[in-house]
Each structure stands twice: as C-alpha cells, then as structure tokens.
Structure 1
Amino acid sequence: MKGMLAEIANMVKDFGSAPTFAEMPRKTLADKGIAGPTAAHTIEEVHTPLNLAYLTFTTGSSAFQNIVGVTFAEMPRKIQASFNVLQRAGLKAGDKVLVTYPPLVNVFSGDAMKKYGLEWRFLVRSSRDAFLAALYEFQPQAVVGESSFIRAALEDARHMGVADELPRDIVLLTAGTPLDLELLPTAKSVLNARVHDLYGCQEFGWLCMDGVPVREDIELVKLPGGAGQEMFELVVGGLPMGDSFPVSASGHVCNSEGKIITYRRERTYPEYEVIVKATTLTSTVTLGRVVRSILRIKGRIVKVSPDVVTGAEHTVLELKPDYVSAGEQPGIIIEGPQKTQFFDDMVRAQLDYQQKAKADPTWTKRS
C-alpha cells in the first residue's frame, strides 16, 4: 500500500483532473485591459469564480466601495451599449484612446474595446502633469476621464503656455462624476474638442450618452410627490439605479436631442423596492437564487411576491417606494421582454451557473 501511495503522490504532480496552482487560468489587470496606475487602489490577486466574466468595484460615490460581479450572460448587451457609445462619438477601429482612470475600462469592458479595435493607454502616474505629457506623447483621438480633472489639466496647459503643443479636434468622453460644465468652453478653446457626457456604473455598464439611452431596456419612472422640478428614476432592465434626473424638452447641454439631464442627478429618495410579480422560470427556488445573486453582485434588493406567477410568457416587475420612507404608495409595473432585459440576463446567468458543476472536487456541499 505504501508503494501505491508513493506512486499516486508522483502521479498527481504530473497530471490530474484538477489543475495545480501554476496551471490555473489567470486574469491579470492586463488581461482585463486596466493595467494602469491609480492612487486609490492596491493590487491584490483573488480567486475569481468561473461563472463570472470579471470582478470590479463600485466607485464609492454614495457609500463604501463594493465588489461587483459581471456575468457572461450580461456581456453581449454591455458590449453593444459600449459600441453605441463609441459609434456615436465617431470613433473607429485603430483609433487611440487615453484613459485617465483605469477602472473606467471595466464599464466598457476591455473585451468591448478590443472587439471595437481601439488602442488604449494609461497615464504613467495619476496626475495632471502626467495627463498633459500623455496627450503630447500619445496623440490620442479620444480621452476617457473625469471632467473636472480634465478641465483643471487643460487650464494648467493654458497657464503654462503649452496648449498649442497638444492634439486638436479630439473627443472627450467624460464619466465617473457629474459633468463639469466649465469643461465645455475650456475644451473648445484649448483642444477644439467635442465633449460627451457618459452616465453608467460598474454594475450595469454604460446607460446614457449626452442624455440619450444607449440600451433598449431603459425606463424613466416619475418620482412620487415632492415639490419643485419633477425628477425621474432611471431603471435599467427592470432594476432601479438609485439615481434620479430631471427631464428637459430643451435637451442636454451636449446634445439637444438628449432629454435626460445626467449632469444634474440626485440620489433617489425614497428608494424603490423591486418585487417580482411574474417570471418565465418554473421554479420559485431558482427565482429566489436569482434575487440573492442580484443582491450579492449588483447590490440591488429584489423580492419575490408571495403570489408570483411562474412559467409566464415574460417577466413582470413592480417598483414600489420604500414603505418606511414613503408610506403606502401605488406600484409601477415594468413588463418584459424588452424593458426587463437586464433582469432576464441575470436569470440566464443563474441557470447557466446551476447547470455547471462546482468544478472542484475538494469542495462539497450537503443540501
């Protein structure tokens, strides 16, 4: 028996049904397209579940930064939304893009930028002087970054008398924070640049560009009550963003056709609860797993109605203001299939996950 165990010990070092640590597939920052410096992060290796396309983090604008999981099922629509952004901006395959903050690539996804055929580069350091140096050396056709940072850097260039050495007629895709309106005249005078205002998040990808949706499953829900200007909650694929916007007939400052004034967003109060009223699933057990998965990787609370209809032709969701904050209010119905696409993608992701084994025989669970 000792001889057999010795033979097994030698065999498992050379081959086996499970990988060694050295054989495990790896997703580096370079593989994700975000291998650039930031002053706000450390670099940490993690074991990423095979059912997730990649991990990223929320920006922390409204609370502590939280892990976001992006599933394979949602990638096609996420990539298409990014293509819509890049096409509307007039970019083409082979164009060079300077990204000032590497995690912004995760909102596109590196795969989207690769498939579109872009070449992108990051700053040597996350500073304004490094940004100006990169503009001069890289000569990009477009820049992706936060608007106030870009404005301040361009003002530096003008004060230093080096604005004439920077590229002209480029595209500025501003994101991450509300658009700094002072950037528009500065960008025009220093770079003769076209400015676009992107709204989105790590959980869902890009949602609006210059006040125009870039996905098919965007819905605007008027907030109940309140005084002053009417505000509308932005709902993507049946899930509320927690952000509200005014809607204006006069249009967005970057595009008169864009009616959603994304640079004047406010946090929604009271927040909406999402209740599943009907599902294409035949199992409420699976539906329960879907809503828990959405909570864990997207941070959105979804509840299942006690009288939910299973096996329905399409998903039906009800949005209700938080009872504690708003009292009893009428619900708003969101019906699929078009307007619940994101939720349905998460259903598909859960089904894919359940149909695949854990893939690691050392990990067992008893139900």
Structure 2
Amino acid sequence: MKDILDSLAQMVEEFGTAPTFEEMPRRTLQDKGIGGPTAAHVIEEVHVPLNLAYLSFTTGSSAFQNIVGVTHPEMEAREKATRLVFEQAKVQSGSNILFTYPPLVNVFTKKALDACGMNCSFLRRSSRDAFLAALYNNRPDVVVGESSFLRSALEDAKSMGMATFLPKEVIILAAGTPLDLELPAVAERILNGLVHDLYGCQEFGWITINGIPVRDDITLVKSPLSGNSMYEVVVGGLPMGDSFPVADSGHICNSAGKIITYRRERTFPEYEVIVRATTLSSDVTIGRVARTILRIKGRIVKVDPGVKTMASQTMLELCSGGDASAEPIIITGPQGTGLFDELVKAQLEYQQMSKSDPVWVKKR
C-alpha cells in the first residue's frame, strides 16, 4: 500500500492537471495598471473567479467601500467610453497621463488605456507635495484626479512661487467626486490648462464627460426627489442612485453638455428595477442574473413572477418606492438595456463554464 501511495504522490507532482499554488495565474496590481500607492488601502492577494475580468472597489463616497466585479462582456463598452472621453478632451494617442489615485485606472481599464496608446504613471506618495513634484519632474500631458485635491495643490504651487516652473497646457480630467467649481479657473491661471469633468463609477465605468454621455445605453428619468427638477441617470437599465439637473444653459466645462454632474444629489427614494421580459428561455436563469447584479454591482433587481421569457428584447420597469401612484418607467432593449444584457451574457457564459477546480463540488 505504501508503494501505491508513493506512486500516487509522484503522479500528482508530475502529471497532475490541476495547478499547484505556484502554477496558478497571477494578476498583479501592475497587470491591472494600478500599481501605485494610496493612503486608503492595503495590498492583499485574493482568489479572483475566472468569470470576472477583474475586481475593484466602490469609492465609498456614499457608503462603506464594497467589492465590485467587472465581467468580460462589459469590457467592450468600457473601452468605447474611454475612447470617447479622450476624443472629447482632445487627448492624443501616446500622451503621458499622471494618475493621482491609482484605482481610477479601473474605471477606464488598463486594456482600454493600452488600446488608446496611453503612457500612465502615478505619484511617488499620495500627497499634494508629491503631485507638484511629479508635475515638475514628469511633465505629464494629462492629469487625472479628484478636483479639490488638484485645486489645493495648484494653489500651494502659486503660494510657494513654484507655478512658473510647472508644465503648461496640461489637460485635467477631474474625476472621483463632484467637480470643484474653482478648479477650472485655477488650472487655467497656473497651468494654462483645460479642465474636463468626468462622471462615472467603478461599477459601470465612465458615463459622461462635461455632461455629455459617453455610453449608448444612458437614459434620463424623472427623479422621485420631491420639489426638484432632477433627473436620474440610468445605465443600461440600472439606476445610478444619482440625480442631476438637466439644463439648456449647459455644463460649466462645455455648454453642449446638459447634465449638470457637479450638482449631484442622491436619489431618495431609489427606483426599484423589475424584469418584465427577458430574451432568456428560463426564469431560473434571469433570477440568477438578478442575484449576480446584486453581488457584483450592488443594485437590487427583482424578477416579475410572471416574467415573459424568450421575448424579442429585454423589458425593465423602474418603480418609485416612495410613490405608489407614480407612472412606471419602461426601459427596453437592445439599446436601453445594454449593460443589463451584458450581465445576462456574463451569467450565461458562467453557467456554460465547468468548474476548473475538481475539489469544488456541490451536492444537493
């Protein structure tokens, strides 16, 4: 028996098909393009499911930071949005981009940045002094960062007599928080720079630049916020939870942009999403999609018990939880439900993927 066990152990080492820990594929921070320091995180290795393109985290601006999963079918739309952002901001291929906060790369995705030919760098330390040093030493063409941080750092440069030594005509992509309305004037005065206001999130990628949508599946719906002429942004059938004024006068950074993203208000009560019709043949699968969206995007989706399956297009209904008399809002595919349908595709791909780890067996 000992000989058999010895032979078995040798076979496992020499002919085993399941990977050892050393043989497992690795996706490092450098692989994701976010290999820079932040004062808000620790670095921890995790086992990431193969059905996710990568993991990220919410910013924590409105609640505790939570894990975000990004699926492979979503990547094409994120890359397209990234290209539109750079086109609108007149960022040229081959530009040197300085990110003041590395996780912002995840909203673009490294794949999209590489496809656009961008050269990315990060601060040596996450501080205003480090930002000014990087501006002086690296001379970036583009800076991506939170607007109040950038404004404060540039004002520091002015007060310290450093402004004349900084690069000029820098393009600033303000992201992560609502735009600091003093930044455009400060950037123009100190860097002769032009500011663009990016709105988006880790869950869905970039949504607008200067109040102009950069996705095809954006719907604006009347916000349930009482007494306000506000509209909520819905991405591919999923509400953002953010409401904005829509004004003909235009965005401060571009009069063609009508969504005033720097005047954001959290929607209350939030819309509920109910699936009324699906292209799927199984109501069980659409139920799994709803749970997947909750787990990786933090959005609650309910399935109508009488949901129509094998429909020609997806139909989602948005219901206001605070007003039973309000007219329901219907969003239909394929364009209006683009993101939702991408997550349906991801669920189908996952169900068709056999478990690659043979010790992972569920029994009823």
Q: Do they fold alike, i.e. is TM over 0.5?
A: yes
Match of 2:89 in 1: 89
Q: Find out whether 1:62 has 2:68 as its counterpart.
A: no
Q: State which of 339, 344, 352 in structure 2 corresponds to 1:355.
A: 352
- Over residues 273-300 of structure 1, what are the superposed CA-to-partner deviations in whole Å (9 max), with x where a residue is unaligned? 0000100000000000000000000000
Q: Give the aligned residue type for 1:161.
A: G
Structure 1 CA distance for aligned equivalents of residues 347 and 178 of structure 2 = 34
Match of 2:265 in 1: 266
Alpha-carbon distance, 1:15 to partner: 3.2
For residues 114 and 155 of structure 1, the distance between their equivalents in structure 2, rounded to whole angstroms, comes to 32
Task: Provide the alpha-carbon RMSD of the alignment.
Answer: 0.9
- The letter for the 2-side match of 1:129 is D
Cross-structure match for 1:158: 158
TM-score (structure 2 length as normaliser): 0.99
Distance of 2:199 and 2:140 partners within structure 1: 22
Secondary structure of the 1:259 match is: coil
SS at match of 1:152: helix
- Tell me the CA shift for residue 306 of structure 1: 1.5
Q: Could you say which residue in structure 2 is the equivalent of 1:321?
A: 320
> Identity over aligned residues, as a percent?
63
Structure-2 residue corresponding to 1:123: 123
Partners of 1:278 and 1:193 in 2: how far apart? 48
Looking at structure 2, the residues matched to 318 and 80 of structure 1 have their Cα atoms a distance apart, in angstroms, of 27
Could you tell me how far apart the structure 2 residues matched to 1:225 and 1:119 are?
A: 42
Partner of 2:111: 111
- Structure 1 runs not aligned, ≥5 long: none
Measured against aligned partners, the alpha-carbon deviations of 1:137-196 in whole angstroms (never above 9, x if no partner) come to 111100000000000000000011111111100100000000001011100000010100
Provide the rounded CA distance (Å) in 2 between the counterparts of 1:210 and 1:97.
Answer: 19
Cα distance in 2 for partners of 1:225, 1:191 equals 39
Question: Residue by residue, what CA displacement relative to the aligned partner does 1:328-352 show, whole Å, maximum 9, x if unpaired?
Answer: 4221000111010000000000000
Question: In structure 2, what residue type is equivalent to 1:12?
Answer: V
For 1:359 and 1:88, locate their aligned partners in 2 and report how far apart those are by CA, in whole Å. Answer: 43
Report the counterpart of residue 232 of structure 1 in structure 2.
231
Secondary structure of the 1:103 match is: helix
Provide the residue aligned with 1:330 in structure 2: 327
Give 2:52's aligned amino acid. Answer: L
1:306 and 2:305 correspond: yes
The answer for the alignment partner of 1:220 in structure 2 is: 220
Cα separation, 1, equivalents of 2:231 and 2:9: 64
> What is the distance in 1 between the residues matched to 2:165 and 2:15?
58
Alignment counterpart, residue 340 of structure 2, candidates 330, 340, 343: 343
By how many angstroms is 1:354 displaced? 0.2
**1:281 has 2:283 as partner:** no
SS of residue in 1 equivalent to 2:347: helix
Which amino acid counterpart does residue 365 of structure 1 have in structure 2? K
User: How big is each residue's C-alpha offset from its partner over 1:60-85, in whole Å with a ceiling of 9 and x where there is no partner?
Assistant: 11110000000001110011111110
In the TM superposition, what whole-angstrom CA distance separates every residue of 1:198-244 from its partner, at most 9, and x where no partner exists? 000000000000000000000000124722x4000100000000000
Q: CA deviation at 1:326?
A: 3.1
The whole-number CA distance in structure 2 between the counterparts of 1:213 and 1:263 is 14
| CA distance in structure 2 between the aligned counterparts of 1:30 and 1:94, rounded to whole angstroms | 19
- Provide the TM-score with structure 1 as the length reference: 0.98
SS of the residue corresponding to residue 94 of structure 2 reads: coil
- 1:154-233 to structure 2, matched below 5 A, reads 154-224=154-224, 226-227=226-227, 229-233=228-232
Task: Name the residue aligned to 1:254.
Answer: 253
Whether contact under 8 Å (2:225, 2:267) holds in the other structure is: no
Shift of 1:117: 0.9
- Aligned match of 1:20: 20
Instruction: Name the CA distance, whole Å, in 1 between partners of 2:9 and 2:80.
Output: 49
Deviations 1:109-148 (CA, angstroms, capped at 9, x unpaired)? 1111111111110000000010000011111100000000
| Residues 264 and 349 (structure 1), Cα distance of their counterparts in 2 relative to 1, 3 Å cut | same
Structure 2 SS opposite 1:337: coil
Q: Is the 8 A contact 2:225 2:268 kept in 1?
A: no
Shift, 1:327, TM fit: 3.7
Determine the C-alpha separation between the residues in 2 that align with 1:91 and 1:47: 36
- What displacement does 1:307 show? 1.5
CA contact (8 A) 2:106 2:202 kept: yes
Aligned amino acid, residue 244 of structure 2? F
Aligned to 2:11: 11
Q: Distance in 2 between matches of 1:289 and 1:58?
A: 23
Q: Secondary structure at the match of 1:338?
A: coil
Secondary structure of the corresponding residue to residue 344 of structure 1: helix
The SS at the match of 1:326 is coil
Letter of the structure 2 residue corresponding to residue 83 of structure 1? R
Residue type of the alignment partner of 1:260 = I
